[in-house]
Amino acid sequence: MQLINDTRFYLDGAWVDRPDAPRIAVLNPYSEEVIGHIAAGSAADVDLAVAAARRAFPDFSQTPVAERLALLKRIKALLEERTEEFAQAITAEMGAAITFSRGGQVAFGIAHVNTMIDVLEKFAFQTERDGITIVREPIGVCALITPWNWPLYQITAKVAPAIAAGCTVVLKPSEMSPFTAQMFAQVMHDAGTPPGVFNLVGGTGEVVGNAMSSHPDVDMVTFTGSTRAGVLVAQSAAKTIKRVVQELGGKSPNVFLEDANFEEAVPKGILGAMRNVGQSCAAPTRMVVPASRLAEVEALAASTANDIIVGNPLDEACVIGPLANAPQFAKVQELIQAGIDEGAKLICGGTGLPGGLNHGFFARPTVFSEVTPDMRIAQEEIFGPVVVIMPYLDEADAIRIANDTVYGLSSHVQSADQESARRVARQIRAGQVHINYPAWSGFAPFGGYKQSGNGREYGVFGLEEYLEVKAILGY
């Protein structure tokens, strides 16, 4: 493909070129070749972006709801028109299979905008309670820091509620998958977003992310990424007492009760965990199953994983492509080897490239069994196509294993008896619980317990993170 060199930032309603700024190379994870470069922003660029957002806030915060709804609807329409362009960019920069880029990455990204339109149409910004007038007002200038694994989805999950609330924003996308964000900025421009309401500065977290989270004129920072980086963002933001919303790591359990439909639910669990090459913080990568059914689960899991088509992500038949980048490839290989070294039972996959592939950041769909809670693969977020099967003795043991993690983002429960599933779901310490693989919903609040973060995204809860609550007495 043609080399893409985009050294522009989007500031105060216009594209501003930074041809003299240091450049960051962007690699295609399938070919391992450089496909372009972006400019590495500086603290001075962040100052310009924040100043533009600060100037725009007084007017935009007072816009009628109808105007913000109209803007969101224009954004949605443009995203729909450009679905294929976004899908191709996502596949090129982070390796998602093209069918998943279209039907998952882009479709769910658009769904966040659509959900927020619905929420905004019904949301009451002023209510009366116990004789007190409660007013919900936009918090101010918001710094949005998004990851590489869902390049559009995570942007719309933050930008849509910020716009709905009446906030102004500065976005820093991941430097590893930046072209989707550049295209999104063009959508915001073409949708007629007022100058300063949306700004984009590319670059590294160490420079641009730190400057945004510590900036005295930023009122809120929302970050999605690793727990390690989330700690640094929170520390940086603490100096100016701003609101911090974080969606961080996960090690989500998938608990199978004795009466679950194993033949149907095990394959779904494997495919769900390996969706997006396992590069999802909510992936159900710990399959917690009755010890008496272990052999059955192993056979179903291995059969499903071995049938997954891995290859060129532009191939329509491909189910999963490569991991998104070289550091992630190295991490996944290290942890697969750690599972082998610690004595877990490898039932399929393993280290190295899948058969027939001699380039690309590919990992073999891998399943371990007889995994115990003390193993690294049971505790660390692998972020690759790796599932660990953990046997339990009784329901109390299953719940103990499910909760035996520093994370608490998502979880699953499989059971033919709804009340049994509900009983277990109420005891799992996680921000979401999915019973028998329900449909995804952008209205369900998403966020974590423990080291999976704080605050919530999506739907009404996501909108409220961008609002301050004002009580007016004697109104």
Counting every residue written for the chain, the total comes to: 475
* Residue whose C-alpha is closest to residue 319's, from 307, 302, 332, 330: 307
Q: What are phi and psi of 377, to 5 degrees?
A: -70, -15
Residue carrying the six token digits 């491909």: 318
For residue 380, report the phi and psi dihedrals to the nearest 5 degrees: -90, 145
Q: Which residues are catalytic?
A: 247, 281
As a three-state string, the secondary structure of the chain is CCCEEECEEEECCEEEECCCCCEEEEECCCCCCEEEEEECCCHHHHHHHHHHHHHHHHHHCCCCHHHHHHHHHHHHHHHHHCHHHHHHHHHHHHCCCHHHHHHHHHHHHHHHHHHHHHHHHHCCCEEEECCEEEEEEECCEEEEECCCCCCCHHHHHHHHHHHHHCCEEEEECCCCCCHHHHHHHHHHHHCCCCCCCEEECCCCHHHHHHHHHHCCCCCEEEEECCHHHHHHHHHHHHCCCCEEEEECCCCCEEEECCCCCHHHHHHHHHHHHHHHHHCCCCCCCEEEEEHHHHHHHHHHHHHHHHCCCECCCCCCCCCECCCCCHHHHHHHHHHHHHHHHCCCEEEECCCCCCCCCCCCCCCCCEEEECCCCCCHHHHCCCCCCEEEEEEECCHHHHHHHHHCCCEECCCEEECCCHHHHHHHHCCCCCCCCEECCCCCCCCCCECCEECCEECCECHHHHHHCCEEEEEECCC
CA-CA distance, 29 to 266, in Å (whole number)?
Answer: 29
